[in-house]
A and B are shown apart, each in its own frame.
Chain A
Amino acid sequence: MNKTNISSKKKILIVDDSELNRSLLSDMLADDFDIIEAENGVQAVVTLQEHELDISLMLLDIVMPEMDGFDVLAMMNKRGWIKTIPVIMISAETGSSYIDRAYDLGAVDYISRPFDERTVKHRVMSNFMLALKQKELSDMLSAEIYEREHDNRLMVEILSHIVEFRNGESGLHILHVSTFTDMILKRLLKITDKYKLTQADINTIVNASALHDIGKMSVPESILNKPGRLTKEEFEIMKLHTVEGEKLLNNIPYRSSETLITVACEICRWHHERYNGNGYPDGLMGDAIPISAQAVALADVYDALTSKRVYKDSFTHEKAVEMIQNGECGAFNPLLLKCLTDIQAELKKELKETSYGRDIDKKVGENVESMLKKSGSDVSERTIRLLEHERMKYRFFAGLSHEVMFEYVPEPEMIILSEWGAEYLGLPERIVDPAKSDLGTRVFSKVDFNRMMTHMRATTPENPRIEDKFLLTINGERRWNRIIVQTLWSGDENPEFDGALGKFVDVNDETQEMQQLEQKADYDSLTGLMNHAAAKRKITKLLSDAGGRKYALLFFDLDNLKTANDVYGHLFGDKLLKEVAARMMKNTRSSDICARMGGDEFIIFMEYKESLEHQVARIFKCLTKPLDDFNVSVSMGVARAEHYCGDYDTLFHMADQAAYAVKYGGKNSYKFYSNTDADQVDKQ
Chain B
Amino acid sequence: MDIKECYAKMGGNYDDVMSRLRTDERIKKFLLKVAEDKSFDNLCDAMSVHNIEEAFRAAHTLKGVCSNLSITRMYETASAMTEALRGKTEFSDEWLPLLEKLKTDYANTVECIRAID
Main secondary structure of the interface of A (DSSP, over half): loop
Asked if B68 contacts A21 (CB within 8 A), the reply is yes
Asked if B33 contacts A114 (CB within 8 A), the reply is no
Tell me the bound Cα distance from A115 to B26 in angstroms. 13
Tell me the bound Cα distance from A115 to B16 in angstroms. 11
Tell me the bound Cα distance from A18 to B16 in angstroms. 21
In this assembly, does B61 line the interface, its C-beta being within 8 Å of a C-beta of chain A?
yes
Interfacial chain B residues near A27, Cβ < 8 Å? 26, 29-30
Task: Return the chain A residue nearest B82 by Cβ.
Answer: A92
- How many B residues have CB within 8 A of the partner chain? 25
On A, residues with C-beta under 8 Å from B are 17-21, 23-24, 27, 63-65, 91-92, 113-117
Asked if A19 contacts B21 (CB within 8 A), the reply is no
Tell me the bound Cα distance from A64 to B56 in angstroms. 10
Tell me how far the C-beta of A52 lies from the nearest C-beta in chain B, rounded to whole angstroms: 28
Interfacial chain A residues near B61, Cβ < 8 Å? 17-18, 21, 63
In this assembly, does B77 line the interface, its C-beta being within 8 Å of a C-beta of chain A?
no
Task: Return the chain A residue nearest B75 by Cβ.
Answer: A114
Main secondary structure of the interface of B (DSSP, over half): helix
Tell me the bound Cα distance from A212 to B65 in angstroms. 72
24 example contacts (A-B, Cβ-Cβ < 8 A) are as follows: A17-B57, A18-B61, A20-B33, A20-B34, A20-B37, A20-B68, A21-B61, A21-B64, A21-B65, A23-B30, A23-B33, A27-B30, A63-B57, A63-B61, A65-B57, A92-B60, A113-B67, A114-B16, A114-B17, A114-B67, A114-B68, A114-B69, A115-B20, A117-B21
Q: Given A27-B26, A113-B64, are A19 and B70 neighbors across the interface (CB < 8 Å)?
A: no
Tell me the bound Cα distance from A20 to B35 in angstroms. 10
Tell me how far the C-beta of B14 lies from the nearest C-beta in chain A, rounded to whole angstroms: 13
Asked if A116 contacts B19 (CB within 8 A), the reply is yes
Top 5 nearest A-B pairs by Cβ distance?
A: A116-B20, A114-B67, A114-B68, A92-B64, A20-B33
Of A23, A24, A92, A116, which is within 8 A of B63 by CB? A92
Given A18-B61, A63-B56, A114-B69, output 20 extra A-B contacts at Cβ < 8 Å: A18-B37, A18-B39, A18-B65, A19-B37, A20-B34, A20-B37, A21-B68, A63-B57, A64-B57, A65-B54, A91-B64, A92-B64, A114-B16, A114-B17, A114-B67, A114-B68, A114-B70, A116-B20, A117-B20, A117-B22
Interfacial chain A residues near B34, Cβ < 8 Å? 20
Task: Return the chain A residue nearest B16 by Cβ.
Answer: A114
Asked if A114 contacts B63 (CB within 8 A), the reply is no
Asked if A114 contacts B20 (CB within 8 A), the reply is yes
Tell me how far the C-beta of A88 lies from the nearest C-beta in chain B, rounded to whole angstroms: 16
Of B16, B19, B60, B67, which is within 8 A of A63 by CB? B60
Interfacial chain B residues near A20, Cβ < 8 Å? 30, 33-34, 37, 65, 68
Tell me how far the C-beta of A673 lies from the nearest C-beta in chain B, rounded to whole angstroms: 66
Interfacial chain B residues near A21, Cβ < 8 Å? 61, 64-65, 68
Tell me the bound Cα distance from A27 to B22 in angstroms. 12
| Interface core residue of A65, A114, A116 (most chain B CB under 10 Å) | A114
Interfacial chain B residues near A91, Cβ < 8 Å? 64
Interfacial chain B residues near A17, Cβ < 8 Å? 57, 61
Tell me the bound Cα distance from A64 to B16 in angstroms. 27
Tell me the bound Cα distance from A117 to B17 in angstroms. 10
Chain B positions 14-59 with a Cβ under 8 Å from a chain A Cβ? 16-17, 19-22, 26, 29-30, 33-34, 37, 39, 54, 56-57
